[in-house]
Amino acid sequence: MQNRFSNIKEAEEFLASVPQFAGGSTGFSCGSERARLLLEQTGHPEKELKIIHVAGSNGKGSVCALLDTALRSAGLRTGFFSSPHLKDIRERIRLSGELIPEDDFVNILNEVLRAEEAVRLKFPGFCAAYFEYFFIAALLYFNEQKADAVILETGLGGRLDATNACDNPVLSIITPVSLEHTQVLGDTIDQIAAEKAGIIKYGVPVVVMDTDKEALKVFRTYADKAESRLVIFEENSVSVNKITDANVDFSLHNSYYRNVTVTLPMPALYEAKNAGLALTALAVLAETESFKGISAACLAGKLPEIISGFASFEWPGRMQCIQTGVYVDGAHNPAGIRAFIESTAAFATGKKNVLLFAVSDDKDKSGMIRELCGSGLFSDIVVTAFSGARSAQADETARLFRDFGAAGVSVYGTVTEAYEKACEPPHDYVFCAGSLYLAGEIKCVKPGTVPLCQKG
């Protein structure tokens, strides 16, 4: 098969035409099955990589990004696979903090398509889903570039996710679990926790947070079955010293760290907990036999460099200050909204705050809006819809706000119009929340740019 793409534009156009879910793959209903076939066809690039596998409902992207920052600060060459992207599809595949170059992405995507065609000869009707093209491309690239450590963020759930085709991680991490994607993952915490726990592998240590007793019980059961060491990160091991509208300063005290002080450059209380979880995971990683050699050389004694790296940590769409007094947060479920509210209240209570809100139609819109209206933090609410079929209709979203007692609700047809309205004075702060897709479009609200509609 000849190369299908000669440049990034052709690759982008092809990917934009690919369904998010591969319903046409007869006999291969889940991402992990399809990914295993593609990995086999490409020579199992994952077998040569030291993989940290991260699942969860809230905070998994941040924990992955914090791990990437920490390992790079310690001198490691890292691969980082994440989703969704906000502006550029190459954001999903990063090597040592840099996006995969366009030419490399095109060449490797051609390789993935050749592998897909070879699999299709064996299994007629086989086709990969959108997410899987990126995932296989990422592993091929990280293997080619000889990454020291690779961080994989799951796409949806865990057990059936394409990333779970990797059977040889050095560490698994599960961030807090909440009700999400209930039509796919189940409608109870224990069902969703079981899907996330599907990433636990035999004999591989797993680090979890103690936020939910029901989920923790599930994690214990799965870890016991897999004979995996379960390390529980306790939320109360993080003590916030100070939060301003620019940063949060906290201390971490547990069996691995003794009152270590860390500063993160965003006013997000939840990121302090995520950083505590990431640091604890690093300590467990340093003890892991399959990571010996790398950890001994690059993690031991590198805590000052790691803390310094955290001081300049960047992760778009998480209480990110995009201009003076304007913040973007990708909270997209009730638990995420509660964390967003907790951070906002810590420095903006009593201020004149404007909320710009848009949400995916498949999310718990009522649950999120109930939390926002109950907070009493926002004097004006600007509602819009982001591009693409996944967005909830703005009028319906606005009706929910009014049903929950909100006053000062206005509706705008585009993100650009809504953003301009929200930023009109007078106000102290503007907060944009509800979806990472909204965050991605807001980052494009500048002359000469076109808002993008990203897939999961």
Last residue of a domain, one of 310, 335, 370: 310
Residues 160 and 236 in one domain: yes
Rounded-to-integer distance, Cα 136 and Cα 93, Å: 10
Rounded-to-integer distance, Cα 439 and Cα 209, Å: 26
pLDDT at 201: 97
- The dihedral over CA atoms of 217, 83, 95, 126, expressed in degrees to the nearest 10, equals 100
Reply yes or no on whether the pLDDT at 290 is more than 50.
yes
Q: What is the DSSP string of 100-169?
A: PPHHHHHHHHHHHHHHHHHHHHHSTT----HHHHHHHHHHHHHHHTT-SEEEEE-SSSSTTSGGGG---E
Q: How confident is the model at residue 301 (pLDDT cuts 50, 70, 90)?
A: confident
Tokens 């961080």 -> residue: 151
Range of 349's domain?
320-442
Last residue of a domain, one of 285, 310, 335: 310
Last residue of a domain, one of 310, 338, 354: 310
Count of domains for the chain: 2
pLDDT at 178: 79
Q: How confident is the model at residue 399 (pLDDT cuts 50, 70, 90)?
A: very high
Average pLDDT, the chain: 91
Q: How confident is the model at residue 454 (pLDDT cuts 50, 70, 90)?
A: very low
Q: Which of 256, 237, 255, 266 is nearest to 303 (CA)?
A: 256
Pairing mode of beta strands 320-323, 169-174: unpaired
Instruction: Kindly report the number of other CB atoms within 10 A of residue 258's CB atom.
Output: 9
* Mean pLDDT within 254-267: 95
Q: Which of 187, 181, 214 is nearest to 197 (CA)?
A: 214
Residues 235 and 134 in one domain: yes
Q: Write the single-letter amino acid at 119.
A: V
Reply yes or no on whether the pLDDT at 446 is more than 50.
no
Q: Assign residue 332 a region: left if phi > 0, alpha if psi is -120 to 50, beta otherwise?
A: alpha
Whether 448 is covered by a domain: the verdict is: no
For the question of whether the overall pTM of this predicted structure is more than 0.85, the answer is yes
* Mean pLDDT within 115-126: 94
Question: 358 phi and psi, to 5 degrees?
Answer: -150, 155
CATH code (residue 419): 3.90.190.20
